[in-house]
Amino acid sequence: MIPRHAPWEESGEFRIGLRQIPAEAWLEGGEADPAARKDPLLTAHPAAVWAETEGSRPAQAELLDLVSQACGRPIPAEGRPPLLAAARAVADDLCLMERRDGGWRLTALSLCAGSFFTASEVIGRSLAELHGPVTGFRERLLARVTRIFDGLRDDLVLERRNWSVVSAPDLFMPDPAPMRAVITDIDPARAADSLFARVERQTLRRLPATGGVVFTIRVWVDPLSAIAADADRLARFAAAWRTAHPDFRAYKKLELYDDLVARVIDAA
C-alpha cells in the first residue's frame, strides 16, 4: 500500500503547515464501523478516550450537526453526549475548542487514537498548556495559532499533518513507554516491517453558531516497508530522516530508531 500521506516529504520540524482543503474533503472516511473500534475503548479506558467540560453541550450539538451533514445522514445521539455520538460515526478523533477565560481551551474530546496523551490529561487545557512539551511552541507558534483560531472563516476547512516513527501499529497509544521499552528486541533484519510511519492528519473548522472550533485528528500508520517499496519514495524519506531538526528528533525520540531505520535506508 502506498502511504496516503507523506508529510516527511514537506518538513522535519515543528511548523503550522496549514492549507485550505475543499469542504467535501473534510473527513477522509474509509472505516466501515468506527464505533466497533471506539466503543470497546470507551468501556475499557473511559477516562483516556472521552472528556467534556460543563457548558460545552451547545457547541457539541453544533458539531454533531456538522458531522451529520458531512456523513449525509442524521446521526442519532441516543442519549450520548453529542460529540461522542458524532465521534462514533467517523474514523477521526474529535476535539472541541472554545474561547474561555481569554484563550482557546479544549472543552470536549473523543480521543481513541491519541499519540501519547489521554483525554483526561488534556481536557480544559489552553493552546499554550496543550503544547507545553513542544519545544518553542509558545515562543514561535502560539500567537499565530491563536490568530488562526480567532479569525477562522466559517467556510474554511484547514488541514495539517505531522509524522513520527514508532515500533507498533496500534492506533490507541496513550503511553509510548511500553512500546519504547522493547525496541531493542526488534530484529534489525525485520526493521522495515517492525517500524511504522505514524501520521496525524488534522483539520480545523469553525462552528459558526456557537463560535467553537472543531479540531479533528486522524491517525494513519504504515510500515516502513511501504515506503521502502519504491526507491524514490524511500530516498525522500531518507532525506527527511537525515535532516529532521534536532528539536523535532528529540521531542519524538527518533534517536531510539536510528540504527533500525539505517538498516531500512541502507538496504535500498
The contact set with ligand HEM (CB under 6 A) reads: 14, 16, 18, 95, 97, 106, 117, 122, 130-131, 133-134, 141, 145, 148, 162, 204, 215
Q: Which is nearer to ligand HEM, 162 or 194 (CB)?
A: 162
Q: Is the separation of the CB atoms in 171 and 219 below 8 Å?
A: yes
In the bound state with ligand HEM, the residue whose beta carbon lies nearer, of 155 and 187, is 155
Q: Give the shortest CB-134-to-ligand HEM separation in angstroms.
A: 4
Quote the CA–CA distance of 179 and 228 in Å, as a whole number. 22
Which residue, judged by CB position, is nearest to ligand HEM in the bound state?
162
Q: Please report how close the Cβ of residue 136 comes to ligand HEM at its closest, in angstroms.
A: 9
Q: Which is nearer to ligand HEM, 11 or 68 (CB)?
A: 11
Residue 6 or 204 having the CB closest to ligand HEM: 204
Strand partners, 105: 98, 126
Sign of CA dihedral 204, 206, 207, 211: positive
Q: Which residues, at least 6 apart from 215, have a Cβ–Cβ distance to it below 8 Å?
A: 94, 95, 96, 97, 202, 203, 204
Q: How far is the CB of 227 from ligand HEM (least distance, A)?
A: 18
Residue 231 Cβ, how far from ligand HEM at the closest point, in Å?
27
- Using DSSP's 3-state secondary structure scheme, residue 24 falls into helix
Which pairing describes strands 19-21 and 157-166: parallel, antiparallel, or unpaired? antiparallel
Nearer to ligand HEM, 41 or 97 (CB): 97
The CB-of-266 to ligand HEM minimum distance in angstroms stands at: 26
Minimal distance, residue 226 CB to ligand HEM, in Å: 20
Q: Compare residues 53 and 225 and give the one whose CB is closer to ligand HEM.
A: 53
**135: phi > 0 → left, psi -120 to 50 → alpha, else beta; which?**
beta
Torsion of CA 130, 206, 63, 88, to 10 degrees: -60
Residues 6+ apart with CB under 8 A from 36: none
